[in-house]
Homo-oligomer: A and B are copies of this chain.
Amino acid sequence: MTDLAAVKAALKTQAVETPSWAYGNSGTRFKVFAQQGVPRSPKEKLDDAAQVHAVTGVAPTVALHIPWDKVDGPDGYAGLAKHAEERGLRLGAINSNTFQDDDYRLGSICHPDAAVRRKAVGHLLECVDIMDATGSKDLKLWFADGTNYPGQDDIRARQDRLAEGLAEVYARLGEGQRMLLEYKLFEPSFYTTDVPDWGTAYAHCLKLGPKAQVVVDTGHHAPGTNIEFIVATLLREGKLGGFDFNSRFYADDDLMVGAADPFQLFRIMYEVVRGGGFTADVAFMLDQCHNIEAKIPAIIRSVMNVQEATAKALLVDRGALADAQAAGDVLAANAVLMDAYDTDVRPLLREVREEMGLDADPLAAYRRSGWAEKIVAERVGGQQAGWGA
């Protein structure tokens, strides 16, 4: 039997980090459809994120992306952190970007030219400086590095360069800071990607040391990959640093988490819970692109989807499951898991929210807030935020 009070208590502790870039414009190589009311600055992104946290109560931190969220001027990142704090938020992981300068055409930290590698490592070190300024704990590294054609570069030499660059950045990490290394099957590279799978990320993190951990982006796998297996394995190895949640039907579609395969999301969250990963040591981050839908409501919906999957995972009757597994009763074991999944947890989450002093329906609360109309009216002119410096 599951202890409902404990489930509710756990759900109240949940923290989902939203990404600053999801509040800005995004698209595909074919088109970026601009939307009205999109933030024009990091502070405006935080303003939007504050709305998400206000109605969900479980989105207290915001990931930054450098240089998209680069701030200059007298108060700099301290001012940004203060802006966040005044809105009930904290700044979260710092995401590096070594793919948008012309220099990075053939890679960054793995580039054949040492000067480009130097520049890339310099950027990563600067990101640690920013972490010092913002109090961020995690440096999240995703490298677009790779090649498009067989023979274009030497696969192994690129691994050597990668290891060397990562080591330098690792050495710079301070107490309580971590490096989260993300892997991705492909895109924007189409033949090799220098960190293509969890095994590669794991092998590098293992050599770097305990501050290096693997990040699982749920959209970065080959078709048919069992992601919850990877989650279970990384937790068993003590190497799961966190998630970039989103969902996909085909490639790295970056849709709202839970939109494409809610059962998979539940299975992932079950392995998180089962493996002792539902703690502050595992960062639960979103990484989505809201290309055609309204952005803030989409993020609220995503947070709610994570909550629902988590609630179902927490509801699994683990004693009954263990008994059925030990007995080798395939159908009974599957039924225990499915019983939790088939449960409609929305009433439970409404209760949780009310007990947290929130509206039971975050989307309705957001709609009533008038924020959507306000930003459309006020954010006129200027340069909308997007995937650019």
Could you list which residues of chain A lie within 8 angstroms of chain B, going by C-beta atoms? 26-31, 33-34, 99-100, 102, 104-106, 112-113, 144, 147-157, 159-160, 185-188, 190-193, 196-200, 202-203, 206, 221-226, 228-230, 232-233, 235-237, 248-251, 253, 255-256, 259-264, 267, 271, 274-275, 291-294, 297-298, 301, 308, 321-322, 324-326, 328, 330-331, 333-338, 341-344, 346, 363, 387
Contacts and interface: CB of A to CB of B under 8 A. Distances in A.
Contact of A151 (B28, B223, B321): B321
A311 to B, nearest CB: 11
B148 A255 contact: yes
A91 B4 CA distance: 48
Given A151-B321, A155-B228, A197-B199, A191 B249 contact: yes
18 contacts: A29-B29, A33-B102, A148-B255, A149-B330, A151-B325, A151-B333, A151-B338, A152-B334, A156-B232, A157-B325, A185-B250, A197-B198, A197-B199, A199-B203, A203-B233, A251-B251, A293-B331, A298-B331
A293 B149 contact: yes
Contacts of A26: 29
Nearest to A228: B155
A112 B334 CA distance: 15
Contacts of A341: 262
Given A229-B196, A263-B263, A344-B344, A154 B322 contact: yes
A29 B202 CA distance: 27
B104 A148 contact: no
Given A150-B267, A155-B228, A334 B237 contact: no
Given A105-B328, A155-B233, A199-B200, 18 more contacts: A29-B188, A30-B99, A30-B187, A30-B188, A34-B102, A106-B328, A151-B321, A151-B325, A151-B338, A152-B334, A154-B274, A155-B232, A156-B233, A186-B250, A186-B253, A197-B225, A199-B199, A199-B230
